[in-house]
């Protein structure tokens, strides 16, 4: 029975509001959907409803920060990053403002379809100078991330999870530090965000057959890497990156940049590969776009030189009714 926590971010945001009286939360008509509702109820004077006007909203955050407030904007990641991209680049990233941007509905976690699926948000944010970029993988991450980023002097983009969130970790998220989950050295899986839950389960099972299979959770995409991660990459023969994002600009890209300059292991990138996506249930989408558990298992077999694949991806492609998420305000 897996353990989940209901709305960990909503509670953390409210708690953070008690600790930091400079915290102001600005929303774009997605207050409950992005778990700012408890904060807004507790601190109505510090909640600004800016409406569906993301360009002005982002630049407004910059101005709030200029005057000494600590602004935070939680939205669906597509509306956090893609629509107001230029305003983020010029009014937040360039002047290195202490602003916090949160993006929910990461990758293929929503039936909302191409308009709601953020498959490029991490790429857009990591390419901005001055920006720190994080991705939460579980309820502990979501509960501790606000504390983890509170002293970063520049802007932060964090990709988050909402509603009923699986709890995988006990220790709080630390910026710039990956999480060692399984120690195997020969093949190392680097997983991020919503892929970590699947990776923990599958890698644990696969380790019976492949004791030299390891797993690391990447929470900090930028700046990339830490001493432990670099050591483990050096020892590995094959690295599998496993992300809910386009491989061209997410975890695979960041890892490839490192490996290009520190040659050693071969890279197998698992993620969305140069395609736009469509709406559906999460399991269906994960399998359809090549990031389901079958894809991970197949990649591990390939990495260990086993030619016979144990699972056919098509068997997993069950086209069921779309199940709407009951744990969030909208069924997205």
Point out which residues bind other proteins (CB under 8 A): 24, 45-46, 48, 50-51, 53, 55-69, 71, 86-87, 90-91, 94-96, 98, 129-130, 132, 152-155
CA distance linking residue 26 with residue 39, whole number of Å: 11
- 285's CB contacts (< 8 A; 6+ apart) are 108, 277, 278, 279
When the beta carbons of 66 and 180 are compared against other proteins, the nearer one is: 66
> Between 32 and 90, whose beta carbon lies closer to other proteins?
90
The residue behind tokens 């644990």 is 204
Q: How far is the CB of 75 from other proteins (least distance, A)?
A: 15
Least distance between other proteins and beta carbon 91 (Å) = 6
Minimal distance, residue 45 CB to other proteins, in Å: 7
Task: Kindly tell me which of 62 and 298 has the beta carbon lying closer to other proteins.
Answer: 62
**Nearer to other proteins (CB atom), residue 62 or residue 255:** 62
DSSP strand E in the chain: where? 4-6, 23-27, 47-49, 70-76, 100-104, 132-135, 156-159, 164-166, 179-183, 187-191, 213-217, 220-222, 238-246, 266-272
Distance of CA 123 to the CA centre of its chain: 12
Closest CB 68 distance from other proteins, rounded Å? 7
Burial of 31: CB neighbours in 10 Å, binned 0-12, 13-18, 19+ = buried
Min separation Cβ 63 and other proteins, Å: 2
> What is the smallest separation between the CB atom of 204 and other proteins, expressed in angstroms?
38
Q: 24 or 216, CB closer to other proteins?
A: 24
Query: Measured from the CB atom, is 64 or 213 closer to other proteins?
Result: 64
Helices 251-261, 227-235: crossing angle, 10 deg rounding:
70
DSSP string over 146-179: HHHHTT-SS-EEEE---SEEE---SSPP-TT--E
């Amino acid at each position: 029975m897996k353990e989940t926590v209901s709305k960990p971010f909503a509670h953390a945001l409210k708690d953070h509001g008690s600790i930091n009286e400079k915290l102001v939360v600005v929303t774009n008509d997605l207050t409950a959907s992005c778990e700012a509702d408890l904060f807004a109820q507790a601190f109505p004077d510090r909640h600004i409803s800016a409406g569906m006007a993301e360009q002005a909203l982002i630049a407004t955050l910059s101005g709030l920060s200029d005057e000494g407030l600590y602004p935070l904007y939680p939205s669906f990641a597509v509306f956090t990053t893609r629509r107001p991209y230029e305003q983020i680049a010029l009014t937040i990233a360039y002047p290195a403002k202490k602003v916090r941007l949160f993006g929910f509905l990461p990758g293929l976690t929503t039936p909302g379809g191409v308009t709601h699926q953020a498959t490029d948000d991490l790429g857009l944010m990591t390419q901005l100078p001055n920006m720190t970029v994080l991705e939460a993988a579980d309820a502990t991450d979501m509960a501790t991330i606000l504390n983890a980023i509170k002293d970063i002097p520049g802007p932060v983009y964090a990709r988050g999870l909402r509603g009923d969130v699986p709890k995988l970790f006990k220790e709080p998220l630390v910026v710039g530090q990956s999480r060692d989950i399984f120690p195997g050295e020969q093949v190392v899986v680097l997983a991020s965000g919503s892929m970590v839950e699947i990776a923990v389960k599958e890698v644990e099972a696969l380790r019976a057959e492949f004791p030299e299979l390891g797993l690391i959770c990447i929470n900090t995409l930028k700046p990339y890497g830490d001493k432990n991660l670099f050591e483990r990459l050096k020892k590995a023969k094959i690295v599998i990156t496993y992300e809910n994002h386009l491989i061209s600009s997410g975890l695979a890209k960041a890892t490839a940049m490192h490996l290009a300059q520190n040659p050693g292991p071969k890279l197998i990138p698992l993620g969305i590969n140069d395609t736009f996506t469509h709406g559906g249930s999460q399991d269906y989408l994960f399998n359809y776009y090549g990031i389901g558990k079958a894809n991970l298992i197949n990649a591990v077999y390939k990495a260990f030189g086993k030619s016979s694949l144990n699972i056919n991806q098509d068997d997993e492609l069950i086209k069921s009714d779309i199940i709407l998420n009951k744990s969030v305000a909208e069924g997205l």
